[in-house]
Amino acid sequence: MAKVISGKEVSAKVRAEVKTECEQLKAQGIIPGLAVIIVGDDPASRVYVNNKKKACAEVGFVSEEYALPAETTQEELLALVEKLNNKPEINGILCQLPLPKHLDEKAVINAISPLKDVDAFHPSNVGKIMIGDYHFLPCTPAGVMELVHSEGIEVSGKNCVVIGRSNIVGKPMAMLLLHENGTVTICHSRTKNLKEICQSADILVAAVGKPKFVKADMVKEGAVVLDVGINRDENGKLCGDVDYQEVEPKASYITPVPGGVGPMTIAMLMKNTLKAAKIQNGVK
């Protein structure tokens, strides 16, 4: 029987802390502002962006949504980013991914001012994370670490296996575990002996993007299992990258989907936006 780590509860705590700090900033005349850009009408992105706006309202931030049609050109999108880079009331800029195929995600990420890059996707922020000297951490991996910390789980010396090597989750996730002295292995589609490597994990992070990919026979007895995936199963129900039913009895800790890492992503975005507002206003 695993202990279920509730991202719902931990994220509410993080948001409450951000709200308190936001009130202190307001007393100094500073209101943190987040701009969220969404292009096209991907239904999952719409849900996530709505959740981000809700969280902004809850913690006391100003949020601006820029919902652009799917036909938006690269030039139009870059012009919007440039406008937001120069808008003092906006402290954080986030362009919800994925973008429609004809748009160049890399160019858009590069265009966002690193000081306002609350996703921490800009190469200069990625580089800072690599050397362990950063302002912002990418929201999803940071949210996973927050869940780990909330349970007092020790990373140092543990075998940590990350399945998935995306720039958004897998790679930075591995780096954060490494910063806490984990022994980290990154697995991906070309990995041989995936099952055996996963079986060696004391801490297993699934960021594959395949429903119920992690089965019980891939998990060591007593492992900590952190599920980053958000998929739909054969019945259209939300599910993670972990086969929860199968894996839960073997794990010592497990995160559910929904209500696990997803809400943490948003809570960490609030943290980053608060930090951005402080830095841009010279508040310690």
Residues from 92 through 131 that contact ligand L34 (CB under 6 A): 94-97, 119
Residues from 248 through 267 that contact ligand L34 (CB under 6 A): 257-259, 262-263, 265-266
Beta strands 231-232; 238-239: pairing state: antiparallel
* Piece of 19-27, 46-54, 76-84, 124-132 that binds ligand L34 (CB under 6 A): 46-54
Strand partners, 67: 38
State yes or no: is 96 an active-site residue: yes
Q: Among the options 19, 26, 28, 96, which is catalytic?
A: 96
Distance (Å, whole) CA 67 – CA 80: 11
DSSP state of 217: G
Residues from 149 through 168 that contact ligand L34 (CB under 6 A): none
Distance (Å, whole) CA 251 – CA 146: 19
Distance (Å, whole) CA 232 – CA 242: 12
Report the half-sphere exposure of 243 (CA within 13 A, side-chain side).
12
User: Do the Cβ atoms of 239 and 233 come closer than 8 Å?
Assistant: yes
Give 195 or 232: the residue with its C-beta nearer to ligand L34: 232
Distance (Å, whole) CA 276 – CA 73: 28
Give 33 or 263: the residue with its C-beta nearer to ligand L34: 263
Give 6 or 183: the residue with its C-beta nearer to ligand L34: 6
Give 202 or 241: the residue with its C-beta nearer to ligand L34: 241
- Tell me: does residue 51 bind ligand L34 (CB under 6 A): yes
Give 33 or 262: the residue with its C-beta nearer to ligand L34: 262
Q: Among the options 116, 117, 119, 212, which is catalytic?
A: 119
- Residues 206-245, one symbol each (x = binds ligand L34 by CB under 6 A, - = not), give ------------------------x-------x-------
DSSP state of 165: -
Residues from 177 through 206 that contact ligand L34 (CB under 6 A): none
Distance (Å, whole) CA 28 – CA 282: 12
Neighbours of 120 (CB within 10 A): 23
The number of angstroms, rounded, from the C-alpha of 238 to the middle of its chain's C-alpha atoms is 18
Contacting ligand L34 (CB under 6 A), which of 93, 112, 139, 276?
Answer: 139
What burial class does residue 88 get, using C-beta atoms within 10 Å of its C-beta: 0-12 exposed, 13-18 middle, 19+ buried?
exposed
Residue nearest to ligand L34 (CB): 262
Contacting ligand L34 (CB under 6 A), which of 16, 47, 79, 107?
Answer: 47
Give 50 or 181: the residue with its C-beta nearer to ligand L34: 50
Distance (Å, whole) CA 63 – CA 53: 6
User: Do the Cβ atoms of 181 and 157 come closer than 8 Å?
Assistant: yes
State yes or no: is 52 an active-site residue: yes
Residues that bind ligand L34 (CB under 6 A): 47-48, 51, 94-97, 119, 139-140, 230, 238, 257-259, 262-263, 265-266
Q: Which residues are catalytic?
A: 52, 96, 119
